[in-house]
């Protein structure tokens, strides 16, 4: 099935922080016994190869070089472009009298190749077809302002294509947040290790196509030594598909588990209906739903396959919990006394659990705090719910999603899915996975209810919380990508993903 092509297929699976990449850089220099300039030269060469690969021979190129080693990469590329007969303009920003030895050597290379640097003073006087962004890389350490901001605005306003070296300047390498203003690139070539910020928050929109250059096998070897608790990797469905539960001919519905969806307080029956249908479309053998008694007809009207139980007391729910293999709790659950009766029984149970929406909002209140250490549990907060669970505000969550996801997994001793651009899946031991599938059309009511049902169905078919969460997020997002590719992301509705969910569940 044709899937939107991805910017990440060829990237290595590991994602690094800026600090970790600096350690890998140092490992390369130490274990290969080379100078920093050698690594910089390799970076410039790799970047120039990407330029030729994407744009071919380019008549005129403009390099914008900052005063750090990212600028040094830019000088090397400028020299190579000039040596290939291209017309090269080079603007410098910052004090280039006090650059590192490596950058000074790279600057000399550019001079020797006939490139005459000019100080950028606010005007980008260039009418060529390609700008190379070598302003900031992993050394960005403050909000971009002044002449640097002018330069980035000028780059973004210019009609030329943009190649960013290592990371689009202005983008935080660790969080994917924009520090003031950032370059919007058509291509980013990242060195030594893929930075986390490229694949989350604003990163995916600003990077354009992402190319990767390892520069050193010693650096790659050092990356493999990073301990699990600091390990972050990215995934998309194409890699995780083999985790889909296998079906043999000699199967019956009992083999595929029984999901019980609990929720649907007054006026919110749609949420439980979508979660229940999602569980069925993801292959659960049986799907039941415990909701307000007055909602039973509405659920059955949409999905007669679902066994619906109108429950008014915790006692009525207890019997249903015993017969289920996985609980999917929270869709449309509300925070009424009825909701609390339901949640109390759910927390008293030991059954595997996916907890979402108002189930999380109740859990976030001090009286309801609960640790899940001995239980197969997935919490699926969006940033607002995550903020409540951590006692922070949403902006703080979004400013460092990796920190927030890890903190939640640690606090609740559960697998946590932090939804948003570059959904994160964290586990209590510190490991984090980034899902690179997904699109902006998913920011629509009901998508979370569907995800809850998807993850619960995978757990009902035998996946543990970590596998079900990673696979479920990628499955859900890949289905939304297919739905968006067909009809557009604007106006995408949660139930539009169902036919794609079923199809992806049956891809080998």
Ligand X SMILES: NC(=O)C1=CN([C@@H]2O[C@H](COP(=O)(O)OP(=O)(O)OC[C@H]3O[C@@H](n4cnc5c(N)ncnc54)[C@H](OP(=O)(O)O)[C@@H]3O)[C@@H](O)[C@H]2O)[C@H](O)CC1
Q: Which residues are annotated as a binding site for K(+)?
A: 70, 133, 169
User: Which one of residues 62, 68, 346, 420 is an interface residue with ligand X (CB under 6 A)?
Assistant: 68
Q: Strand pairing partners for 317?
A: none
On the 0-12 / 13-18 / 19+ scale of CB atoms within 10 A, 377 is buried
Q: Residues marked as binding for AMP?
A: 419-423, 448
Judged by beta carbon, residue 195 or residue 236, the one nearer ligand X is 195
Choice between 190 and 495, CB closer to ligand X: 190
**Which long-range contacts (C-beta less than 8 Å, at least 24 apart) are formed by 344-347?**
344/314, 345/314, 345/317, 345/318, 345/321, 346/262, 346/317, 346/321
Which residue's CB is nearer to ligand X, number 131 or number 442? 131
Binding to ligand X, residues 4-43 (CB under 6 A):
22, 25, 36, 39-40, 43
Long-range contacts of 423-431 (CB under 8 A, 24+ apart): 423/473, 423/477, 424/200, 425/466, 425/469, 425/470, 425/473, 427/465, 427/466, 428/373, 429/228, 429/229, 430/228, 430/229, 430/230, 430/231, 430/406, 431/228, 431/229, 431/231, 431/232, 431/233
Residue numbers belonging to the annotated binding site for (6S)-NADPHX = 69-73, 137-143, 148, 166, 271, 332, 382, 449
What part of residues 138-167 is at the interface with K ion (CB under 5 A)?
A: 164-165
Residue 408 tokens read as 């939640």
C-beta closer to K ion: residue 169 or 477: 169
Stretch that binds ligand X, among 136-144, 261-269, 408-416, 438-446 (CB under 6 A): 136-144
Q: Is 326 in the site for ligand X (CB under 6 A)?
A: no
**How many H-runs (helices) and E-runs (strands) does the chain carry?**
19, 19
- DSSP one-letter code for 333: -
- CA 131, CA 184: separation in Å to the nearest integer? 11
- CA neighbours closer than 13 Å in the CB half-sphere of residue 211: 20
Q: Does 346 bind K ion (CB under 5 A)?
A: no
What are the binding residues?
A: 69-73, 133, 137-143, 148, 166, 169, 271, 332, 382, 419-423, 448-449
- In this structure, the number of other CB atoms found within 10 A of the CB of residue 35 comes to 13
Query: How many angstroms separate the CA atoms of 459 and 354, rounded?
Result: 9
Q: For the segment 121-140, give every residue that binds K ion (CB under 5 A).
A: 133
Q: How far is the CB of 185 from K ion (least distance, A)?
A: 8
222 binds ligand X (CB under 6 A): no
212 binds ligand X (CB under 6 A): no
Stretch that binds ligand X, among 67-75, 246-254, 373-381, 388-396 (CB under 6 A): 67-75
The interface with K ion within residues 164-193 (CB under 5 A) comprises 164-165, 169
139 near ligand X (CB under 6 A): yes
Site for ligand X in 143-182 (CB under 6 A): 143-144, 148, 165-166
Q: Quote the tokens at residue 107.
A: 């600057």
Q: Which residues bind K ion (CB under 5 A)?
A: 133, 164-165, 169
Contact positions toward ligand X, by CB under 6 A? 22, 25, 36, 39-40, 43, 66-71, 73, 136-144, 148, 165-166, 191
């Amino acid at each position: 099935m044709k899937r939107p092509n991805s910017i990440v297929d060829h990237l290595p699976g590991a994602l690094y922080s800026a600090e970790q990449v600096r350690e890998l850089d140092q490992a390369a220099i130490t274990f290969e016994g080379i100078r920093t300039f050698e690594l910089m030269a390799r970076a410039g060469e790799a970047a120039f190869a990407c330029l030729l690969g994407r744009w071919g021979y380019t008549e005129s190129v403009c390099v914008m070089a900052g005063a750090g080693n990212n600028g040094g990469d830019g000088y090397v590329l400028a020299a190579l472009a000039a040596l290939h007969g291209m017309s090269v303009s080079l603007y410098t920003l910052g004090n280039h009298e006090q650059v590192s030895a490596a950058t000074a050597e790279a600057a000399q290379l550019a001079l020797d190749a006939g490139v005459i640097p000019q100080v950028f003073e606010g005007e980008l006087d260039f009418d060529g077809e390609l700008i190379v962004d070598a302003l900031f890389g992993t050394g960005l350490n403050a909000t971009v302002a002044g002449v640097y901001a002018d330069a980035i605005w000028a780059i973004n306003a210019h009609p030329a294509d943009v190649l960013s070296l290592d990371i689009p300047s202005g983008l935080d390498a660790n969080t994917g947040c924009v520090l003031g203003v950032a370059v919007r690139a058509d291509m980013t070539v990242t060195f030594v290790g893929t930075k986390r910020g490229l694949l989350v928050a604003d990163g995916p929109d600003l990077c354009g196509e992402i190319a990767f250059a390892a520069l050193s096998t010693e650096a790659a070897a050092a990356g493999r030594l990073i301990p699990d608790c600091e390990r972050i990797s990215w995934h998309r469905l194409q890699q995780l598909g083999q985790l889909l539960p296998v079906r043999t001919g000699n199967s019956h519905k009992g083999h595929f588990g029984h999901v019980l969806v609990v929720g649907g307080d007054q006026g919110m029956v749609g949420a439980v209906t979508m979660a229940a249908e999602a569980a069925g479309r993801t292959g659960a053998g049986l799907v039941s739903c415990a909701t307000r008694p007055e909602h039973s007809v509405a659920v059955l009207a949409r999905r007669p396959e679902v066994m619906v139980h109108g429950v008014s007391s915790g006692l009525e729910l207890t019997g249903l919990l015993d017969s289920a293999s996985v609980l999917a709790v929270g869709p449309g659950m509300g925070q009424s006394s009825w909701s609390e009766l339901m949640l109390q029984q759910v927390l008293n149970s030991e059954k595997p659990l996916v907890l979402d929406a108002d189930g999380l909002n109740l859990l976030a209140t001090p009286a309801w705090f609960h640790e899940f250490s001995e239980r197969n549990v997935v919490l699926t907060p969006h940033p607002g719910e995550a903020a409540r669970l951590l006692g922070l505000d949403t902006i703080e969550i979004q400013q460092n999603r990796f920190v927030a996801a890890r903190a939640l997994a640690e606090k609740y001793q559960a697998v946590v899915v932090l939804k948003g651009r570059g959904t994160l899946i964290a586990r209590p031991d510190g490991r984090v996975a980034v899902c690179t599938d997904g699109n902006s059309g998913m920011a629509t009511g009901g998508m979370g209810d569907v995800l809850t049902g998807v993850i619960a169905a995978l757990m009902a078919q035998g996946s543990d919380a970590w596998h079900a969460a990673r696979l479920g997020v990628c499955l859900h997002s890949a289905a939304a990508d297919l739905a968006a590719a067909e009809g557009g992301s604007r106006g995408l509705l949660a139930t539009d993903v169902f036919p794609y969910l079923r199809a992806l569940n049956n891809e080998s």
